[in-house]
Amino acid sequence: MSDKPIIKKASGETEPFSEEKLQASLRRTGASDDTIASVVNDVKSWLQDGTTTRKIYARAFSLLRKKRGGVAARYKLKKAIIELGPSGFPFEHFVGQIFKELGFEVETGQVIQGNCVQHEVDVVATGNGEQHLMECKFHNSQGKFSSVQVPLYIRSRMDDIIEKRKTMQEYNGLHFEGWVVTNTRFTSDALQFGKCSGLKLLSWDYPKNNSLKDLIERERIFPVTTLANLTRKQKNVLSQKGNVLCRQLLQHPEELDQLGLTHSKRKKLMEELEALNGK
């Protein structure tokens, strides 16, 4: 029998506390070994049976924030994606910006004629002889999964569009792929259908080594909601004006003028932005 405290996950499931998982999540932020050891020891001394992963995360984030804002923001990433909601509109723009940063020409919120009917497509990313047609499924809770019904429905819509575009001269030579992108996870049946049908699936932790989380961290494409030095209202103001990436603010700091920040607050924010972008 394990003597480790039993913690409660966002899905409602329980499991023994894993020191290794907490260490790994902290290590991904770029925190030093000393910082990781300090945070883990603090959490272990405070932890009790029944503590939720949300509370564990909040405590670890608070400790990281006291040490360095940029590190804390990276640890806050999963929650930051949730904070792009609740409408899901900023999420599709965030996904579009990811693919723009990867070198694709991107359009969002397109109405596209299929062979049979018209379809709304969240993101169209074109480049390298390929066109990716993407449906973005946003969930405002980490415990919600996208079931097999989602890719089943999207596959038929994408097939209708692709069938039409293959007959159009302007798309001659392009290879088409349908995608479903979610900020949480897919069920095992959804993943199996995606593999079998050729539909590309992208979620928080799938596919391995090239998941949404991996893309964000590897390419440093952090959403503005990761920023610890802005209020939620200030983040909403920025995202509604199309500023969904921290990188955009670093490249165009004049966008911060609309927030009315004091000199000291703006300086702290710029330091956090630079830390997130590895400067």
Q: Provide block-wise average pLDDT over 10 residues at a time, the chain (279 residues).
A: 79 88 81 86 91 87 70 74 77 92 95 97 97 95 90 97 96 96 96 97 95 90 89 89 89 94 93 78
Q: What is the pTM (predicted TM-score) of this model? A: 0.75
Residue pair 94/244 in contact (Cβ under 8 Å)? The answer is yes
pLDDT at 1: 45
Cα dist. 47→29, 38, 133 in Å? 22, 14, 45
Among 149, 156, 157, 154, residue whose Cα is nearest residue 190: 149
Residues in the chain: 279
Around Cβ 16, how many Cβ atoms within 10 Å?
A: 13
Q: Sheet of 200-202: strands edge to edge?
A: 105-113, 118-127, 130-137, 175-182, 200-202
pLDDT at 27: 82
Q: What DSSP state is assigned to residue 206? A: B
Among 68, 120, 64, 91, residue whose Cα is nearest residue 244: 91
Cβ contacts of 5 within 8 Å, gap of 6 or more: 16, 17, 47, 48, 49, 51
In whole angstroms, how large is the CA radius of gyration of the chain?
20
Spatial separation of the C-alpha atoms in residues 167 and 213, rounded to whole Å: 36
pLDDT at 58: 82
Among 199, 85, 183, residue whose Cα is nearest residue 148: 199
